[in-house]
Every structure is written in C-alpha cells, then in structure tokens.
Structure 1
Amino acid sequence: MKKFSFLALFLSITITAFSQGNNYVQNYNKYENLALTPPMGWNSWNKFACNVDENMIRQIADAMVSTGMKDAGYTYINIDDCWHGGRDSLGFIYPDPVRFPSGMKALADYIHSKGLKIGIYSDAGSQTCGGRPGSRGYEFQDALTYAAWGIDYLKYDWCNTEGLKAEGAYKTITAALRRAGRPIVLSICEWGNDKPWEWGPQVGHLWRTTGDIYNCFDCIKDHGTWKAFGVMQILDKQDGLRRYAGPGHWNDPDMMEIGNGQLTPAEDRAHFSMWAMLAAPLIAGNDIRSMDKETQEVLTNKDVIAVNQDSLGVQGFKHETRDSVETWLKPMKNGAWAVCFLNRSTKVKSIEFNWQEKPIVDELSKRELNTAVRQYKMKNLWTKKDAGTTKKVLKATIQGHDVLMLALTEIK
C-alpha cells in the first residue's frame, strides 16, 4: 500500500511537471489573417537612412493622407534603422530621446489617428546594420515593448548575426510577438541567403528575396563585401520564386526607389508596374512630402495598384522575351488577367502580339488565357484608355525602359 501511494505521488508530480513545462512550448507560427494582400506603405531608409525623427515621421503621415496615398491603399508608416536610443537597467529598449522626445507610443497614437499603421525596425543580431541595439537576447522584451507602443509592423534585419541560423532566429522573434499578444506583420529581411521562401510562409508575412535595392534601373553597385542591385537585377532574381507567394506570405524584392531622382519617369512606371505584376509589397521609399506630380501619379495609380492587390494573390510570370521586350502575365480574380510588356532596351521597340496564336497556360494557378474560347476587352493602365479587344493583333511601340500595361476583362 505504501509502495502504491509513493508511485501514485511520483506519477502525480511527474505529470504535473510535464504539464507545467508544456505551458512554455513556443508558438513559432505567425499571426494569421494579416497581409492577405501585399502590404502597402512607406519606409524611411531609401531616402533618409539614419536621419529620422518624430517630426519628420508625423509630416510623412500627414502627407500620406494629403497626397491621396492613403486613399490609394497605402497603410504603413515604417521607421527603419536608427530610431533606437539604448536599453534601460532592465534591458528594455527605448527610442532616441533627442530624435523622439515624445516617445514611440505618442507617435504611434498620432499615426493611428490618421487611419494609418506604424512599423518599426530591429535586427536579429547584437547590433542593427546602423550600429544600434539589436534584439539578440532581448527578443521577448522587445516584442512586449512594441506591443505596448502599438506597433503594427516589424522589419527584422540580419546584420551582426554571427553563429545564428536564420530560420531559428526568425522563429524566436515570431514566438516573442505571439507571446506579446499584439498581431504584428513580420517582415523577414534576411536578404534571401538562407532561402526564406522555403520556411518563411509559416514564420512571417513577407521575406526579402535579395540584397538591397540600388537607386538605378539596370546596374549593380559593388560595395566590396556586398552588392546592391538595380531594379532589373532584382527583377531577374525573382525567377523560380512565385510558387512560394500568396495571401499572407509574399516574396519581397525590397522597397521602391520611385521618386528618388535617379530613375526617369518611364523607369518609375516600369518599376511600379513590375512590382505590381510580382505581387510585391508596395513600400514607397521617397520623400512623399515634396514629390512632384509625376511621382505622385505613379504611386497612386489605382488601376496598377489593383493588379498588385488582387485578392487571388498570384504572382505574375514572364511568358516570353522578344527583342529586349519581355511579356509578363498575372492571373487575377473573376477570370481577368494583367499583361505587361517591359522594354528593357534603351531604344524604342515595336511589338506585335497575336492573342489568337496559342493558349497561354499557367500551371501554378491552373488558369488559361485562350482567346479562341473567350474574348477580352483591354484597358491601358497608364493612359487609362480603351485598348480594344483580343480579337485583333496588338500592335504598339514602347519607349526605352518603359512598359505597356493592360488589364484584360472577359467579354461575357
């Protein structure tokens, strides 16, 4: 009887211990039902780098509303690197008291009052890329802090991560965000080194597929130990990745350089069009407070944005290349298609595209563009004009580094 009582007591204690331990099993799955279409917003890095402060961020939020960008679908005001001050005696992060004297909670409240959302930046390593305090070893504290501030979006970088494995490091911050209890979009900024598209869909809502973008249309900037890539180079690096993207989990070819002065108006259009075709996050990187009318019209083109934000969530694909002109297609809801002809040459090119030649099949979405079975009316998404139907061969000229972008809607 004594032996039975001892065994029962031992089992009771053991079961209790294991059940208590199970309370600390982490949830490495991202918050669901966020970023069901590619996130749209603005980020400070491309234009301002480390020169960020609360007055500028408030002005950007004001401009997001006044320029029509909010009405066009832009939501996030994302503060990139260098907002950090230090850590207090308990290890909790605080913002730079000179640049952000009102604190992040007050800034978040202001941005929320505009009907917008706020994003912030950290790093999986000991320091950020700009040399500020990283989150390594402080992940759960930082997540609690962000939740208390009212943060909606976290860009999580990959500098100073010696010895870390990317998948594990990003699972740690995901678990921390889940434990903090506030749904936050997680942007995995690991530069594509460890194939985040393979493990990222469960962990985050978007993941960088390449190194940093560089403000040119077709070039590579060699920094010695690393390289930055022009718009066309980043476009090429998306090859083979479309099957990983979809609602709630997107390939991220980096923030846009539209309006930053190095691209021509045609190149701005092409940049925006291709990011739309890729179902890429549309994160502006210019000073939207002072952008010219042409830049504003590109960034707020609702027809092109509708291609990007299509709820079917299928990333576009390159169908063919003829004489420097690439033909891209993107299946969309209700049987519609977007078609984009990209002229990668600096010279004017003439195109002829016979819609009747043969069906175009997308094995990924199980969709077929077959004009022998159904016809489509076409709209030019940059001129806003009717472009006829698919009954006739399409004939057009495209300026150098420009696009012809069409929406095809089935004729019932």
Structure 2
Amino acid sequence: MDKFMNKKSISTSASARTTSRTAPDEITDPDYMFPAFSNGKVLLDKKQGRLPAMGWNSWNAFGSKNNEALTKAMADAIVDLGLADMGYKYVVLDDGCYKSERVNGLLSNETIKFPSGFKALSDYIHGKGLKFGMYNDIGTNLCAGSAVGTCGFEDVDTRSYVDWGVDFIKVDNCYYLWDNATFSDSTNAKYAYAPNIRSITVTGEGLNVTLNAVKDGVILGQGASKNSGDDVTNIGTFDGTNVGTTPVGDRWGELMFTVNTPTSGQYAITVNYASGEEDGTGRWLQLAVGNAENETRYFDNMLPLTPSTAAFVDSEEITVFLNEGVNIIRLMNHRRQENTLNSYAALLEGLNKADPAHDIVLSICEWGKTQPHNWGYKVGDSWRILNDITFRVGSDGDPGSAEWSSNHTASITSQYSKAVIMDEFAGLDKGWNDPDMLVIGMNGITTNMSKTHMTMWCMMNAPIMLGLDLRRVAKGDELWMIIANKDVIALNQDPLGIQAKRIYCSIDNANPDTAYIANNNRVDILVKPLANGDIAISFINLSDSRDTKEHSVDVSRIIDYLGHKIMDAEKFKNAESYCLKDLWTDKVTTNNSRTFSVTGIDAYDNVTIRVTPV
C-alpha cells in the first residue's frame, strides 16, 4: 500500500465488497463514495419507515458489569411497569457480554455473567413479548477491550446474531483500523487526511504548467487551510466529536485547481506533497477530475511517508483524461466517511445474507466522528451524533452520574444543541439522529432536567433507550411519571415521523433552525407537526435559573417554517381557535388568538403543548 499506484481511472462498476484487516477496502461502487451521500438512495435494501426504537440498554446502568440475571430483571420490569405497552420493546446488551476472545472464530457468551447463553436469554426476552438487542464494534476490539470486534468477521457474526434471534444491533467504532477513532492507533490519521499539498504539475499535449496550492488553488468546504509556506493542509473530514462545533455545513475540505488544456487527451499530473500520520496531515490522497456531481477518480490510495510534514517531494505521475478547455482537478480525502460507511454496510450485507427477511435494527454508534448524518441513512436506522452523555456509568446499586451541561464532555444540552439543528437529516425515509441513551435516574439529573430531557428526545424523534436500573422505579412514582408519559411518548412515535424544528431562540433568532448555539442561557421553541394535523410546541428553558420573560410564536411563523410538512396547513392556518393540552400537567385550555406564548419557566424545565385546530 505504500507504493504510489498509477491508475488509469477507478472503476465505477458495482462489485461485491469485502472487509480487510490489512488495508482499507478498495471502493469501486460510486454508491459508496462521497458524491453519493446526498442522493437519498439507501443501500442493500435497507428497510425504511421505522419509527425510533424504544427500549432499555445496559450500559448506563451497569457498564460492562451487566449479567444475565440483571438483564432478565430489566425485562421483567419493563413488562411489570407497563412500559412495554407504551412502546419500550428492545432489551439491549451492551459491552461486557462476550468472552474476551473468539472461540473457534465465533463470538461466545461470557460464561460467568451469561451462563445460559445468548439464545436462551433471547428466548426469555421474546417470551415476555419484548425484543432482544446486542452490541459490537466495526474495529478489532470492543470498547472495553475484548478482541471480538466484527472487522473481518462480518459474515460469521451476523450469522450468529440471526441464530440467536437478535432484533437490534448497536455497533460502535472502537479500535477501528482506518481512522484515529476511539482507542485506535493515533497514526491511523494517515487514512483520514490527505498529505499537505504545495503544488501540482500538469504535462502532456503541449502543456507543462505548475499550479501553486496557495496562489492558484481554491479551498472547497471547510477545514482545509493555506499555510504561509505555500502549502495547503487539513484536507479531509472534520472530527465531529467536538462539542463546540456545528454539525451543519460542509464539514470537510478539498483543494481544487482549474487548468485550461489545448486539446482533449491524456495528461500526467505530479503532486508535490509532504505526508504524515497525524491530525491534519495524512498519507491517503484522492484525485478526481470534475466536480463532485460528475467526477472521475483517477487515484485513491496511500502515498509514501516523507521525512517530515514539511519535507515536500514529487509523486509519481498520475495519468488522467482532460477535455479541451477548462478542467477541474480536485485533491481530497473523503475516506474517513467512505471507509466507515463501507464497514457498517458490510454488517448490513452480512445480515441480508444470513436472513434476507430479517427485521434487525442497525444502530450506528461512531459518536459523530465522521459526520454520519450525511451517510448513515444509507445503511443504518439511527446514528449517534456525539460522545456518550454519561459522566460515570453505574453498577448494581450505584446509579452512576451524568451532566446537564459541560464544556468538556458530552452532556444532555451539548447533545441537544447539535441534534436540534439536524432535523432535515432525519425522517421515515432515512432514519434518526441519535443523541445517546437517556440518563434519567442518574445522579446529577434533577426532576426538571429529566422531564426536559424526555421532552427534547421525543420532540427530536431520537431513539428512546432507558439507561437506569428499572428496579429503582415503581409504577406511579416520579421517575415512572416521566418515562411513562404517554402523551410525550406519542410525539416520538407519531406515524408522520417528522423531527421537531427549532423556530425560535431567545438569544439568536435570526436562523434558529440552523444556527449552532452552545450558550445555555436561553429559551428555545420547538415545533413538531403530527399525523392528525395537530402541532406540538415545546418551550424549553436550558438555563440554570427561572426565566420570567414571555416567549411566543405565532401561526404565521409556524407556517413559514413547517407549512410544507403540516398535514393540513390551511386548516391550521385558518382555524378560529385552538385547543391546547399541556402534556406535563394535563391542563386543557382554549386559545382564540393566533399566538402561543409562555411566561415563566423554571430552571431546566419545559412547557410542552399539543395544539389542535378547531
């Protein structure tokens, strides 16, 4: 792989993909390449039309110390507490359930913690009328260290999951080989970034021209930057796990040149580059002719390592075809996204082989590192958008802890502030933004925080995965009243399947639906259209003090932002009055005006109403 390969062009014919533990797969099918991310086409017959999954996951409550007895107790509780009747169906084993190594090449249950085996546990859960979920990684190891990741074992692992009766698979990307992901080798950045580029030289057909990256090149997207040393660096895809950056926009950078050729024909391109194995400077280069909509890739491979990231050398020649006149030449590296998509696709392909009629939910959990909201819909049912919320996972007898807000780790509000502006990436035809499992019931999370946490996730159509020890919940108690609020759950499971849109923000109301706002001293208003023509409106106070101001939104603003998504926009627009039901107090009122307003919201609290036009 270190040899700079000279290819005539990369094939665009579809072919079967295989996974490897020695080098990133060659990707020849254009449906798996970056330009296809925006085409709306799912791959491998991925099922569409699923509503967000609801259930319980073991990680927040027990970490890797979960066991068979605890899992059965949680399944029992879901039924006994009436949660199954409200939509909570999946019981998911997270990390810590397998033996530390494969047995004869296969996944195997950890015999002390899960003595009966996964099939017996699956049968027990199915016998309760529930569904069984499991966990793995696209890397070589699981996050807790067990050397049983799916990389290179997709076919045998998916066969095991089908045999065990698995209905849901959550898949992380720890120890991933082709990116500097969680617990991965930091030098894997060589796959995620292109080298630093100083210039390209184009020769042939009477042409010999050298174009400087800084003077003649144009940076596309975001992230790439021009250095004072006449080179361009940071060509690649942003790491999306930073809580301080927006997820919206072109979170990648390319370097583009234009060259005017005297005649159509073959030309040779030499790249003057310096490579590395660190964030911002890698070794993997993609070179294409044409814009993203009609590109032909001529190179997609590793460059030799140079003595330093400032030691520039010339590559071998790359032969390309250029048309007479102006041509676009793009230097880039979208492999961070393409490799990750390819790895998750291998799992879906394996499930299809094991059981073509399967109905298994695939939950992508690479923590937003590769901007999965751009490509996750192609193979997955949901995609995590950021790191874990939990500050400290729990154990048997210890609820663990989480945070409402944090500048350093993922928290409820950092997850929310990203997910709330990602509504256009979600839907029944795509899948769902996943801002992590609920942390209701953990230390550090108050009653108001829990209510608002539940409201946020339900309004945003996030998967609703409980993460607390359900033995601590009694029917009718405070925790139960929050997680069992049928009216709020109905927003999440509404068959129209539209994520709420933020249409008002008290501190930045110019572009509330797209602006990334990290400051929690604010009130947001979210609006969500429902299948029967109703509208749900949430007034959310993210701050740590009571807000005493009036915050309002009128019918015209709702129509401006969501009119094309409302089932009967004309009826809603022209209604003589509106019936309002507060979904947390059950209070019902009539509104004869065309404005919906709230004055006085406690710290961390929300007012959520269902509006019915009369």
Structure 2 CA distance for aligned equivalents of residues 205 and 66 of structure 1: 28
Paired with 1:283 and 1:409, the residues of 2 have a C-alpha distance of 29
Pair 138,296 (structure 1): closer, same or farther in 2 beyond 3 Å: same
Distance 1:169 1:381, change over 3 A: same
Contact 1:327 / 1:342 at 8 angstroms: preserved in 2? yes
| Cα 1:372/1:124, change in 2 over 3 Å | closer
Give yes or no for contact 1:245–1:315 (8 Å, CA) kept in 2: yes
Q: Distance in 1 between matches of 2:100 and 2:359?
A: 25
Aligned twin of 1:6: none
Q: In 1, are the aligned partners of 2:57 and 2:465 still within 8 Å (CA)?
A: yes
Q: 1: distance between equivalents of 2:605 and 2:70?
A: 33
1:125 maps to 2:143:
no
Q: Kindly tell me: are residues 23 and 348 of structure 1, through their superposed partners in 2, closer, same or farther at Cα, counting changes over 3 Å?
A: closer
Deviation at 1:357, TM superposition (A): 7.0
In structure 2, relative to structure 1, the CA distance for the partners of 1:23 and 1:163 (3 Å cut) is closer
* 8 Å CA contact retained: 1:42, 1:283: yes
What's the offset of the Cα at 1:260? 1.2
Q: Distance in 1 between matches of 2:100 and 2:377?
A: 32
Report Cα offsets for 1:97-140 as digits up to 9, x if no partner: 11111000000000000000010000000001011121111111
Cα distance between partner residues in 2 of 1:233 and 1:342: 14
8 Å CA contact retained: 2:537, 2:611:
yes
Note the alpha carbon deviations across 1:60-94, whole angstroms, 9 max, x for none: 00000111111111000001001011555530111
State the Cα distance separating 1:261 from its structure 2 match. Answer: 2.4
- Structure 1 range deviating more: 211-220 or 133-142: 211-220
What are the ranges of 5 or more consecutive residues in structure 2 without an aligned counterpart? 1-13, 19-41, 180-338, 391-401, 508-521
**What pairs with 1:3-402 in structure 2 (closer than 5 Å)?**
28-29=43-44, 31-33=46-48, 36-86=50-100, 90-132=104-146, 133-163=148-178, 165-181=339-355, 182-214=358-390, 215-220=402-407, 222=408, 228-247=409-428, 249-291=431-473, 293-322=477-506, 324-353=522-551, 356=554, 358-360=556-558, 361-363=560-562, 365-367=564-566, 373-374=574-575, 375-391=577-593, 394-402=597-605
Q: Kindly tell me: are residues 160 and 401 of structure 1, through their superposed partners in 2, closer, same or farther at Cα, counting changes over 3 Å?
A: same
Distance 1:175 1:396, change over 3 A: same
Q: 1:230 to 1:23 in 2, by over 3 A?
A: closer
With over 3 angstroms needed to count, the CA separation of the structure-2 counterparts of 1:393 and 1:167, relative to structure 1, is closer
For the residue of structure 2 that corresponds to 1:406, the secondary structure is strand
- 104 and 405 in structure 1: CA distance in 2 versus 1, 3 angstrom threshold: same
In structure 1, the partner of 2:335 is none
Quote the residue 1:14 is aligned against. Answer: none
Counterparts in 2 of 1:175 and 1:302: CA distance versus 1, 3 Å:
same
* Alpha-carbon separation, structure 2, partners of 1:355 and 1:163: 47
Q: Find runs of 4+ consecutive structure 1 residues off by over 6 angstroms.
A: 22-27
Q: Give yes or no for contact 1:380–1:407 (8 Å, CA) kept in 2.
A: yes
| 3-state SS of paired residue (2:373) | helix
* C-alpha contact 2:381 2:432 (8 A) present in aligned 1: yes
Unaligned stretches of 5+ residues in structure 1? 1-21, 223-227
Bigger CA drift: 285-294 or 94-103?
Answer: 285-294
- Computing the radius of gyration from Cα coordinates, the structure with the larger value is 2
Question: In the alignment, is the contact (CA less than 8 A) between 2:503 and 2:561 conserved in 1?
Answer: no
2:579 maps to 1:403: no
- Secondary structure of the residue aligned to 1:173 is helix
The letter of the residue matching 1:200 is: G
Partners of 2:601 and 2:421 in 1: how far apart?
27
Deviations 1:270-314 (A, max 9, x none): 100000111100001111111251111100100000011111111
- Give the corresponding residue for 2:213: none
* Higher mean displacement: 312-321 or 237-246: 237-246
The one-letter code matched in structure 1 to 2:422 is: L
Deviations 1:308-335 (A, max 9, x none): 1111111111111226211111111121
Q: Aligned partners of 1:193 and 1:358: how far apart in 2? A: 38
Q: How many angstroms apart in 2 are the aligned matches of 1:187 and 1:139?
A: 15
RMSD: 2.3
Amino acid paired to 2:606: V
CA gap 1:179/1:356 in 2 versus in 1, 3 angstroms: closer
Alignment partner, residue 4 of structure 1: none
Q: CA deviation at 1:162?
A: 2.0
CA deviations on 1:183-228 (whole Å, 9 max, x unpaired) are 21000001111121222112011111111113111114x4xxxxx3
Q: Deviations over 1:18-51 (max 9, x none)?
A: xxxx9967995254156x2110001011121111
Deviations 1:252-282 (A, max 9, x none): 1110100112211000001000001111000
1:378-408 CA-partner distances (Å, limit 9, x unpaired): 1000011103325276343211110001011
Code of the residue aligned with 2:417 in structure 1: it is D
Tell me the number of residue pairs that the alignment of Structure 1 and Structure 2 aligns.
Answer: 383
Alpha carbons 2:499, 2:528 under 8 Å: kept: yes
- Residue 362 of structure 1 and its aligned partner are, at CA, apart by 2.5
In the superposition, relative to structure 1, how do residues 389 and 84 fare at CA in structure 2: closer, same or farther (>3 Å)? Answer: same
